[in-house]
Amino acid sequence: MKMKITKRQCFWSAAAVLYVLFIFSNSMKNADLSSADSGAVLRLVQQVLAAGGVDGTIITEHVIRKTAHFTEYAALGILLCLCFQTYVLPLHSRVLSQVLAGFLVPFADETIQLFVAGRSGQISDVWLDCAGVAFGTILFAAAAWIVSRTGAKKRDKNYKIVLQYDGSRYDGWQKQGNTGNTIQGKLEGILLKLTGRPVEVHGSGRTDAGVHALAQTANFHADTGMTEDQIRAYFNQYLPEDIAVLSVEKVQDKFHSRLNAVQKTYLYRIEMGPKKDVFERKYCYGLGKQLSADRMKEAAACVLGEHDFKSFCGNKKMKKSTVRTISDITIEKEGTKLLIRYTGNGFLYHMVRILTGTLIEIGLEERSPQEMKEILLKLDRQAAGFTAPPEGLFLERVMYEDRE
User: Contact, 292 vs 363, CB < 8 A?
Assistant: yes
| Angle, helices 351-363/293-300, rounded to nearest 10 degrees | 130
Torsion of Cα atoms, 15 then 128 then 46 then 79, to 10°? 20
Measuring CA to CA, which residue among 222, 341, 266 is closest to residue 235?
222
Q: According to DSSP H, which parts of 211-292 are helical?
A: 228-238
Query: Is 238 known to sit in a ligand binding site?
Result: no
Instruction: Report whether 385 contacts 354 (CB < 8 A).
Output: yes
Beta strands 285-286 and 261-271 are parallel
Q: Which of 100, 123, 113, 84 is nearest to 24 (CA)?
A: 113
Contact of 105 with 20, CB cutoff 8 Å: yes
d(CA 194, CA 288): 47
Q: Which of 362, 154, 392 is nearest to 277 (CA)?
A: 392
- Cross-strand bridge partners of residue 110: none
Q: Which residues are catalytic?
A: 208
Q: Report which of 124, 81, 90 is spatially closest to residue 106, judged by C-alpha positions.
A: 124
Annotated binding site for substrate: 266
